[in-house]
Structure 1
Amino acid sequence: MATRAPWVQRQLQALLAQRGHAWLLQGPSGLGQYELALALAQTWLCEQPTASGPCGVCASCHMVDTHAHPDFVVLMPETVMLERGWPLAETAQKEIDDKKRKPSKEIRVEAMRDTVAFAQRTSARGRGLAVLVYPAERMNHVTANALLKTLEEPPGDTRFVLASEATHQLLPTIRSRCQTHAMDWPPEPEALQWLQDNAASRPTPEQAQVWLRAAGGRPVDALAWAGTGLNAKAWAELPAALARGDWSTLAGWPAAQQLELLQKLCHDLMVHAAGGTPRFFSAANLPVAPRWGVLARWSRELLDAARSVEHPYNPGLMQEAWAARTRQALVSR
């Protein structure tokens, strides 16, 4: 388990010094929204909280760590809850176990209604109730509307923390009912040190730099890149490999991560063609940029693909099409 990042700790202390019953943590992915939201909720419920955060040793902290606190509800898409080890509601788990449906990639309205009912209860441990919603943009309009009144006038001592990586997708009425906090970007040396300390492979500074660059400077996302086994040599050679039609490095990646990589490559080619500094790859490793019209068209195609990447009709055919289109775009002059 990764240690709490220093930039997350600083923000936790700043938020604990303020008052509010509903917080919205906003910013791009990979900056620690979930980690900050969880630490904030854990502090609210802690039996011996400090200005720095939860004590980490009391019974309440232990129950949060083991995902079993009676006064704490986590609202996430079922896919995210399963990835992070949070238990599903008994009914939802049975439906999935019985193959009646697949885990939802959105926050289900049924789960939200259960949470609204939870907010009416009396605290079991006397420290109030806490609700964490992440990623908050995964609420559809029906789900978000079910939360509105409770968010505006929470009964008793109920506090909410919503964490979002795409705040523009939230209803304005949700945003207006929360105090907002924009996530801080950590200094690069701090992010690199945290990445070296928390990656399982204990990378060299050079390798950590590659992961951080691949993630666009977002350290939590960089830790996920570390989990792919991607090394500095493979990252440097990737643009040329894709231009040759070699998809082998990406073959085992999830479709969403493959698409993300193509968008980063397209972004860097457009920036480089316009005379700017690439963000994800070294300029020396980029192929000669295609014509601007080719890049613009490819960028639009990738954006369209992102709308359905989590629901592909045939993942294998989709990846073959991406590989062919990428090679076509990169060799166009």
Structure 2
Amino acid sequence: MSMLSPWLNPPLVELLRQRGHAWLLQGPSGLGQYELALALAATWLCEQPTGQGACGHCGSCHAIEVRTHADLCVLMPEVAMMELGWPLDEKSQADIDDKKRKPSKEIRVEAMREAVGFAQRTSARGRGKVVLVYPAERMNSITANALLKTLEEPVGDVRFVLASEAAWQLLPTIRSRCIGFTLPWPAAEQGQAWLVEHGVAANDASALLRAAGGRPSDALRQARAGGSPKAWSLLPKAMARGDVAALADQAPAQAIDALQKLCHDLMAVGQGAAPRFFEPADLPPAPTGIALARWSKSLANAARTAEHPFNAGLMLEALVSEARTTLHSSPRRP
């Protein structure tokens, strides 16, 4: 089994002391919800568990490592399953391979129904069964209601662990039937050291962590995608110039995320607070609060269609044009 990120070891120990049948691990993206959920499931199923976690070398741990454990049911959108190395069922894989449909971005109700059947079967290894749901907010209403029925009337020796990056989107009835646990934020030094351990240059770790708002996993993803701290620091003034090239290598969803961070920091500065994602010297003067509020709302609307824009190039041009207009509105007076 892979080693847990250092800020997740204390939460794992705390969770292992609790008793129940359903847990909800929640918090912003990039803190390790999936990683912690899998470590929790592995410990429950481990043949030689300790108070610190799974042993990492028994047959159960090996089965999880190679994604073949008979007593672990993983519920994810198909895109997440493929990204994290979990196999799809034969029919789904065949449909995707034959281009009959694209991998789902939601947790399909068919998969949830299979999980309900899984929960009712006898444990293969005799240590109970676990259903892991991630990201839990990707359940649609039909899927969520299918899970709710099982959470209300759990059958046999089965435990559920839901991991979410947007727990407020879950049904209140699902949240109320789970033991809630909010993941801790790692210290900056912890996050930087972890990034360096994963191959990020020491000189870049601090800037990338700041650009990710202190979320190490998001910072690592940005680094592996070729994110440059220098380019990030130049982004605000590039937007003020209307330079589309500064976002040309990003998908619309990534571009909108970057602009939302810029808008957030300008709002913070306008209210006398410190920016979170950019260095103060990298920011242009804060526009009026009304202009920033309008921009924030527009970006939120754009995010709803970012995954399937009619024309990605035109969308980027429109985003940059709006950013330039906002940044050139009358700045807030001190």
Common topology (TM > 0.5): yes
1:253, CA displacement in angstroms?
2.2
Could you tell me which of 315, 318, 321 is aligned with 1:318? 315
Could you tell me which of 278, 284, 287 is aligned with 2:284? 287
Contact 2:252 2:307 in 1 (8 A): yes
Could you tell me which of 297, 300, 306 is aligned with 1:300? 297
Query: What are the ranges of 5 or more consecutive residues in structure 1 without an aligned counterpart?
Result: none
For residues 171-182 of structure 1, what are the structure 2 equivalents within 5 Å? 171-182=171-182
Could you tell me which of 306, 311, 314 is aligned with 1:309? 306
Task: Name the counterpart of 2:9.
Answer: 9
Contact 1:240 1:286 in 2 (8 A): yes
1:236, CA displacement in angstroms?
1.4
| Inter-CA distance 193–316: structure 2 relative to 1 (3 Å threshold) | same
Q: Which moved further from structure 2: 104-113 or 241-250? A: 241-250
Deviations 1:38-93 (A, max 9, x none): 00001111111111101111111111111111111111111111111111121211
SS in 2 for 1:161: strand
Q: Which moved further from structure 2: 93-102 or 116-125? A: 93-102
SS in 2 for 1:74: strand
Q: Which moved further from structure 2: 106-115 or 301-310? A: 301-310
Distance in 1 between residues matched to 2:146 and 2:209, nearest whole Å: 38
Task: Name the counterpart of 2:68.
Answer: 68
Q: Percent identity?
A: 62
Distance in 2 between residues matched to 1:15 and 1:144, nearest whole Å: 24
- Give 4+ residue runs of structure 1 displaced > 6 Å after superposition: none
Q: Which moved further from structure 2: 14-23 or 147-156? A: 147-156
Query: What are the ranges of 5 or more consecutive residues in structure 2 without an aligned counterpart?
Result: none
Distance in 1 between residues matched to 2:121 and 2:311, nearest whole Å: 46
SS in 2 for 1:262: helix
Task: Name the counterpart of 2:53.
Answer: 53
TM-score (norm 1): 0.95
Q: Which amino acid aligns with 2:224?
A: G
| Inter-CA distance 26–36: structure 2 relative to 1 (3 Å threshold) | same
Q: Which amino acid aligns with 2:16?
A: L
Distance in 2 between residues matched to 1:117 and 1:315, nearest whole Å: 42
SS in 2 for 1:24: strand
Deviations 1:174-197 (A, max 9, x none): 111111111111122112111211
RMSD after superposition: 1.5
Q: Which amino acid aligns with 1:203?
A: A
Deviations 1:81-121 (A, max 9, x none): 11111111212112212222111111111110011011111
- 1:272 and 2:243 are equivalent in the alignment: no
For residues 39-50 of structure 1, what are the structure 2 equivalents within 5 Å? 39-50=39-50
1:291, CA displacement in angstroms?
2.3
1:2, CA displacement in angstroms?
7.1
* Count of residue pairs brought into register by the alignment: 330
